[in-house]
Amino acid sequence: MFLEIRDLRKSYGEGENKVDVLRGINFEVEKGEICVLLGPSGSGKSTLLNIIGGIDNADGGYVAIDGEKTANMNEKVLTAYRRKHLGYVFQMYNLIPNLNVKENIEVGAYLSDRPLDIDDLLHTLGLYEHRHKLPGQLSGGQQQRTSIGRAIVKNPDILLCDEPTGALDYNTSKEILKLIEDVNHKYGNTVIMVTHNDAIKNMADRVIKLRDGAIRKDYRNETKIPAQDLDW
Amino acid sequence: MKNPLRKRIKREIFGEIGKYLAVFLFMLLSIGFISGFLVAASSMKTAYDNSFEKYNIEDGNFSLAAKADDTLISDIEKEGVKLYELFYNEEPATVGKDDNEATIRIFRDRNDIDLICVMDGKMPQNDDEIALDRMFADNNGISTGDEITVGDVKLKVSGLVALSDYSALFSDNNEIMFDAVKFSVAIVTDSRFDKFGDDHETFCYGWKYDKEPSDDKEEKNMSDDFMKALASKAPLTNYIPRYQNQAINFTGDDIGGDRSLMIALLYIIIAIMAFVFAVTINHTIDREASVIGTLRASGYTKGELVRHYLAPPMIVSLVAAVVGNILGYTIFKNVAADMYYGSYSLPTYVTIWNAQAFILTTVVPLVIMLIINVISLNSKFKISPLRFIRHDISRHKRKKAVKLPHFKFFTRFRIRVVFQNIPNFIVLFVGMLFTCVLLLFGMMMLPLLEHQKKETLSNMISNYQYILKAPVDTDTADAEKYSAGSYKYDGDELTVYGISEDSIYFKEGAVKDGVAISDCMADKYRLEVGDKIKLSEEYADNEYEFTVDKIVKYPSSVVVFMEQSRFNEAFDKNADYYTGYFSNAGIKDIDDKYIASCITEEDLTKVTRQLEVSMGNMFYLFYIFAVIMAALLIYLLTKLVLEKNANSISMVKILGYENGEIARLYLLATTWVVAISTVISIAASTFIIKVIYRPMMSSMSGWLILWYDKNIYWKMFLIIMATYVVVALLQFRKIKKIPMDQALKNVE
C-alpha cells in the first residue's frame, strides 16, 4: 500500500468548545491512483489533506507513505519529506508575483533532484507561449496551470490538490481537471484531490466521501470517465 | 540548480527602489562619513605621533624671569638635560581684511628642537617678512603674500607654518581652550626678532633629557625631580613638562577622541535602519504569507526562506558599506581632515590604510544588520506553513478586540490603526528618540555657547584684570589689588583669588571663613556649600584644605575665591602680597615690562569663541543629519502603515469615503504617534543629554554649565512636525493613487 491512513483523529478547541474535525479516518491509496476526497464545507477534507501533506498534525492515528509514518518526523525531517514526496496545489494559486511563469515553475524544480524538463512541462501545461509573463498578466486558469506546474515539476510521488478549481469557471475548471488527469497519466503521480464538487468524483479511481469528520462512503470508481467529459 | 528565488531579490529591490535607495543613501552617508573620520583620524594621529621624532619635539619648557647666563645654563644642564632657547615676544597685531585684533607670539626660526612644518610659501628671509600659523591665518582670512601689522610694523606673510610645539594654539597652558582666532605663533628672522626689543620678551627654554624616559611614570618622576632642582637654581615663572603641555598634547588627545562616540553613533544608526528593515520585511512577509505557506508546504526550508528575505537588507548594507568606505577614503576623509585642520595646527599627513576602521565600518554594521534581521525573521518563521497559508501569522494573536470607550467612530478607527501598527510605531519612537538627541545636541550647543558668553561678560569682575610680573603701584582710580595663584584640585589646575575685603568689584568673593567657589566649579565637581576641598600646589607637595562657604556666580571658569588677607596667610605670602589689579579703566602708568598679561572680555570669551569656530559646522551637521533621519524614518514607517492598509483603504473608497476622510483616518493616526513620540522624545533627550554631557565635557580642563535655550523645544517640535507634514503630503498622494479594485482583486 502506497498511502496508508489509520484511525486519524483531529479536534480543535477544548472542553465544551471542542470540535472533532476528524473522527478516526481509515483508508489506503494505491500508487498512481487519483483519489477524490469529497464533502461539504466543514466535513474535514482539507484538514485531512493538510495532515497527509505534513503541514498539520493529527491528535491520533497516523499517515504512512511507503511505510514511513509522518507523525514520527521532526520539523526538519518533515520539511525534507514534503520536499521529496509532495506537490501542493491550492484553490488560490499563490504564485510569486515578481517571477514569470517559467521562473515560478523553477521554484518547484529547485526542490527536486530529478525535476521534469521545464520546457516539456510548459508545453504539457499549454503555457509555453506565456512562459515570460508575470502572474498578473495571466488569466485565473493560466495561473492555476502555473501553480500545478510548480507542484508537478519536481515529479512528486503525491500531488495534493485542495479545491484546485474552486476559484475557476466551468470551462477553465474542466481544463484544469484534464491537466491533472494528463499529468497523472504521463508522470504516474498519485493524486489526492479535495473538492466539494460532486461531479469531479467521476474522474477518480477512488472516491472517499466525508461528512462531520468521518468517512461516509469509500469506494473504487468502476465507471471512471475522462475529465473533459465531466459535466455539472 | 541555483535557487530561483534569488531572481526576485533584484526585482524586489528595484520594485521598491524609493525605500531601498533612501535607506541605502542614509547608510552610505553615515558609513562614508564615519569611515572617512576614522581614516583621517588615524592617519593624522600617526602623523602627529611621528611628529615627535620628525620635528624633535621638546621634553618640556620653562621660563625664567631673566635670561640665564652660561654658568646657569651649564649648571642646569648638569641635571641630565640639554637646553635650547625658545625666546619669544608677544605683540599685539592687526590682521585680515577686517583689521582683527590679535596677539602674536613671535619666535626665531628653530634648528634644534620643536621644528617647523612649512604648509605654504616659505620661511621668512627678510626683516619685513613673517611666517604665520596656518590655522590662525585660515581663521582670519590671511594668505601668503598678505600684509599684517605687528606692534607698529607692517610685515609680509612669507608662508604659513605649523609649529610642532603648538599644534593647539594655547597661549597659556592653564587655559580651558586654545584660541586660534585671536592668538597665533609666528616666525621671523633673527634680526627682526632683535628689533622687537625685550619689553615683551619671555625667556623660555626648551629641554630634552639626555636619557629619554622609558615610560610615562618615569617621565613624571624625571620632570618632578628636574623642577625641584630648577626651582632651587633660578626663579621660575613657568614650568611645563611635555606631558602637561596642552599646546602639544591637546591635539593628540582629541584626534580620534570622539572615535568611540562616532562609532557608537554609527552603530545606533545601523541598528535603527536594521529595525526599519525588520518591520518592512515583516510587512512583506505578511503580504506574501500564502506564497510563503505554499513554498513551505512544497518543501522550502525555514533557512532557505530566512536567507531569501534577509538578502535585500544585507545586499543594501553591503553595498552601502563598501561604497561608503570608498567614499570614506576619497571624499569624506578630506572633510574629516579639514575639520581637524580647522581646529588644529597640524603638519601634513599621509593617508594610511586602516584595517580596523574597515572592519568597524563594514563588518560590524553588517553583523548588526544580520543579527537584528535574523532574530526578527526566525521569530516570524516559527509559525507553521498552514498558518502562513491561512494568513494567520500574528505570533501573539489577540483573541478579542481591545474594548474602546465610546469615542466618535473616527477616533476609535484611528486608535485601532495605532494598535494594528504598534511594532512600526515602536521603531518610529526609538528612531525619533535618537533623532531628538542628535537634534537637541545640534541645536543646543551654539545657544549654550552664546549664553555662556553673555553670562561671562555680565559676571566679569572688572573690565581689565592685570597680572603683574612684579608688584608695581598705580595711581589709576578704582584699580584694586588682588592676589591669585594656580593650584590643583582633583588633578586639574584652577585659579585661587584673594579679593580685597572692601572690594568694589567682587565683594561676595571676599569670604573670610572657608572659600567661595564659582558656580562653574560647583557644577563641574558637584560641590555644595559645606563640602571640603583640598588644593595642592602645582610645583610642590603642600596641600590646603578649605570648606565651601558660598557658591558665587562666575560661569567663565573654575575658580576659588577668598578674602585677600586670608589668601596671603593661607598660602604663606606676605601680608601686602598681591599679583595684579582689577580695574574698569585701562591702567596707563605701569610699564609694559611689568605686566605679564591683561585679561579682558576677549580673553574670557575665548573658549566659547573657539568652540564656535571649530565646532560650529559640526553642530549644523548633527542638526541636518537629524532632520534627514527624522524624514526618512517617518517616510518609511508611514509608508508601511499605508501599504499594510492598502486593501482597507481601497475598500473604504468603495464604500464612498473621500480621500480627505481616508487621510484623516490613516494619516491622522500617524500624526498622533509622531507628535506624541516627538514630545516624549524631546523630554527624554533632554535627560539623555544631561547624562552624557558630563562624561563628554570631563576631558575639558574647564567647564561649560549645561544650559538649554527653552525656545529650542518648540523649534525642535516644529522642525519635526514640518518634516512630517512634507512626508504626509507625499503619503496623501499615495492614498489618492490606491485603486478601488485593489480590495476586490486581493480578496482571498
E-strand stretches of A13-99: 19-29, 34-38, 60-65, 68-69, 86-89
Chain A residues 144-173 with CB within 8 Å of chain B:
147, 150-151, 154
Q: Which residue of A has its CA nearest to B389?
A: A94
- pLDDT, one tens digit per residue, over A172-202 is 889 889 989 988 998 899 999 999 999 999 9
- pLDDT of B527 reads 93
Q: Which residues of B touch A106 (CB under 8 A)?
A: 1, 4
As to burial, measured by CB atoms within 10 angstroms (0-12 exposed, 13-18 middle, 19+ buried), residue A108 is buried
Read off φ and ψ for residue B168, nearest 5 degrees.
-115, 130
Q: What is the DSSP string of B581-645?
A: EEESS---SS-GGGEEEEE-HHHHTHHHHHHHHHHHHHHHHHHHHHHHHHHHHHHHHHHHHHHHT
- Whether complex ipTM tops 0.90: no
DSSP-H helix ranges across B656-708:
659-697
- pLDDT, one tens digit per residue, over B529-554 is 999 999 987 666 788 999 999 999 98
**pLDDT band for position B705 (50/70/90)?**
confident
**Inter-chain CB pairs, A–B, below 8 Å:** 83
Percent of chain B with pLDDT over 70: 97
Average pLDDT over residues B40-50: 89
* Rounded Cα distance, A142 and A123, in Å: 13
Cβ distance of B298 and A92 shorter than 8 Å: no
Range in B302-311, B576-585, B734-743 the model is least confident about: B734-743
Q: Which residue has the higher pLDDT, B617 or B399?
A: B617
Residues with Cβ < 8 Å from B748, sequence gap 6 or more? A92, B290, B391
- pLDDT of B399 reads 56
| A193, A37 Cβ separation under 8 angstroms | yes
Looking up cell 578649605 gives B546
Nearest partner of A98 among B13, B410, B37, judged by Cα: B13
Range in A70-74, B60-64, B391-395, B469-473 the model is least confident about: B391-395
3-state SS assignment for residue B306: helix
* Rounded Cα distance, A122 and A129, in Å: 8
**pLDDT band for position B122 (50/70/90)?**
very high
Cβ distance of A55 and B386 shorter than 8 Å: yes
| B60, B242 Cβ separation under 8 angstroms | yes
Q: Which residue has the higher pLDDT, B128 or B403?
A: B128
User: Is residue B299 within 8 angstroms of chain A, CB to CB?
Assistant: yes
- pLDDT, one tens digit per residue, over B600-627 is 887 788 778 877 877 787 788 888 888 8
Average pLDDT over residues B662-680: 88
- pLDDT, one tens digit per residue, over B135-145 is 999 989 999 99
Nearest partner of A101 among A151, A140, A142, judged by Cα: A142
Question: Has residue B457 got a pLDDT over 50?
Answer: yes
Cβ distance of B295 and A55 shorter than 8 Å: no
**pLDDT band for position B456 (50/70/90)?**
confident
Question: Has residue B60 got a pLDDT over 60?
Answer: yes
Cβ distance of A94 and B294 shorter than 8 Å: yes
**Residue-level length of chain A:** 232
* Rounded Cα distance, B662 and B410, in Å: 10
| B510, B561 Cβ separation under 8 angstroms | yes
- pLDDT of B400 reads 65
| B100, B140 Cβ separation under 8 angstroms | yes
User: Is residue A139 within 8 angstroms of chain B, CB to CB?
Assistant: no
- pLDDT of A29 reads 92
- pLDDT, one tens digit per residue, over B161-185 is 999 999 999 888 766 678 888 899 9
| B31, B365 Cβ separation under 8 angstroms | yes
Nearest partner of B689 among B388, B441, B460, B471, judged by Cα: B441
- pLDDT of B744 reads 64
Average pLDDT over residues A98-118: 91
Long-range contacts of range B220-227, CB-CB < 8 Å, 24 or more positions apart?
A: B222/B80, B223/B60, B225/B79, B226/B60, B226/B79, B226/B80, B226/B81, B227/B62, B227/B539
- Cell readout for B495 is 585659579
Considering only CB atoms, A86 lies closest to which of B12, B290, B299, namely B299
Q: Indicate which of B294, B296, B309 best probes the interface with A, i.e. most A CBs within 10 Å of its own CB.
A: B294
Question: Has residue B703 got a pLDDT over 90?
Answer: no
Q: Report helix angle B259-287 to B17-54, nearest 10.
A: 160
Architecture of domain A3-10+20-229: 3-Layer(aba) Sandwich (3.40)
Question: Which helix (DSSP H) or strand (DSSP E) does residue B494 occupy?
Answer: strand B492-499
Read off φ and ψ for residue B701, nearest 5 degrees.
-75, -25
Range in B453-467, B537-551, B592-606 the model is least confident about: B592-606
Question: Has residue B106 got a pLDDT over 60?
Answer: yes
Residue A79: Cβ within 10 Å count: 23
* Rounded Cα distance, A88 and A86, in Å: 7
* Rounded Cα distance, B190 and B169, in Å: 23
User: Is residue A223 within 8 angstroms of chain B, CB to CB?
Assistant: no
Q: Which residues of B touch A99 (CB under 8 A)?
A: 4-5, 7-8, 11
Cα of B336 vs its chain's centroid, Å: 13
